[in-house]
Amino acid sequence: MRFDTRLVHVGQQPVPGTGAVVPPIHLSTTYDRTAQDPPRYFYARGEQPNREALEECLAALEDARHATVYTSGQAAATSALSVVPAGRLVLASDDVYGGTHQLLAAAAERGVTVRQVDLADPAERDRALAGCGRELAMVWLETPTNPLLKVADIAAVADLAHRHGALVVVDNTLAGPVLQRPLAHGADITLYSTTKSVAGHLDVLGGALVYQDEELHRRFLAYRTVAGNAPGGFDCYLTHRGLKTLSLRTARQVENTRAVVAVLLAEPSVDRVSYPGLPAHPQHAVAARQMTAPGALAAFEYRGDPAKLLDRVRLFTAAVSLGGVRSLIECPALMTHRPVPPEVRRRLGLTDRLIRISPGIEDPADLVEDLVTALRDGA
């Protein structure tokens, strides 16, 4: 099956006996062992039918052997970091999601060495990886990054990291599996906050890891069962339902983002528009090579008061998250990246006037009108 067919069919076979084309939602937390031949399900923290169906579909999207899903993207990231022992090194992108900054800090507190560099810059990437020895356990790559939209060359990072025997984790939340498939470029683990574009309707939390390795699978399943961060049947059902329209939603969101970006470039109150689809973007060529489209997220510097801009928009909702059917707008310094120390934000170039937009699936003309009106009313 090709990609779009897998979205609809994998893990969604008609139910034997009734022929229902939508599998039932299993809400039971425990299972009668005598009713199973052979026994398969014991307790929902360990095994769950809706969870397994979702995992089967997510793995198929990257031609992977395995996927494990979690209660949130943060829970998935915590599980990925759990395989790094104290005393080993994690080399991470400098510009990452605010919650990832906090998780890396927590890993450092338990004895993991954490170093963050600009992995989108080839010279800095090569220098950093060349300076690592066998202590390097993992390279944590976010591409495109959140919120500055820097793009790293996954294949180049994977090649260098694997020379040290390190795992490569790619947080693919911003691009999603329609636009980018990290395992095909050499990554060992793809990470998703499925809360975002995978589920796509802003109504369910979730996270996922997708990978090939059998030993990682054993460790991730054991850690999830003990930690208790496995999602229930209803959440898995909602996420799986959202997957069916992922390609359709992504295409419209990319179209809408292109339309909004084109207008932002001409607005006098806007500086430094960041979007991988622009030829002026520093990693435009890398994005064109490893992504099927430049994404559905953009960022720009606003010359006015960001808080007032968030108050003036009507169709863009001032809220965190991204990748949903409804358009969202935020100021990272005030919202998603507020926990990041100001000196770190300044070093990264994440200014107090940076605005991030995540266009949804509305009519692009309405989105353009809403944003332009809000920008010009504050001029």
Is 97 one of the annotated active-site residues of the chain?
A: yes
Q: DSSP letters of 271-316?
A: EEEE-TTSTTSTTHHHHHHH-SS--S-EEEEESS-HHHHHHH-SSS
Structure tokens at 16: 């034997």
Among residues 94, 95, 153, 171, the one annotated as catalytic is 171
Among residues 31, 41, 70, 97, the one annotated as catalytic is 97
Cβ atoms 62, 187 nearer than 8 A: no
Among residues 125, 181, 196, 258, the one annotated as catalytic is 196
Among residues 45, 241, 244, 326, the one annotated as catalytic is 45
Listed in order, strand segments (DSSP E) in 144-213 are 167-171, 189-192, 207-211
Structure tokens at 25: 């939602």
Is 370 one of the annotated active-site residues of the chain?
A: no
Range list of H helices, 187-269: 214-227, 233-243, 246-264
Q: How far is CA 225 from CA 191, 212, 219, 242, in A?
A: 19, 20, 10, 25
Is 196 one of the annotated active-site residues of the chain?
A: yes
How far apart are alpha carbons 312 and 328 in whole angstroms? 13
* Dihedrals phi, psi of 116, to nearest 5 degrees: -115, 130
Cβ atoms 68, 55 nearer than 8 A: yes
Widest distance between CA atoms in the chain: 71
* Dihedrals phi, psi of 314, to nearest 5 degrees: -120, -45
How far apart are alpha carbons 280 and 147 in whole angstroms? 17
Contacts 24+ apart (CB under 8 A), 26-29: 26/50, 26/233, 27/232, 27/233, 27/234
Helix and strand numbers, DSSP H then E, in the chain: 14, 12
Q: How far is CA 142 from CA 4, 9, 353, in A?
A: 25, 29, 22
Catalytic residues: 45, 97, 171, 196
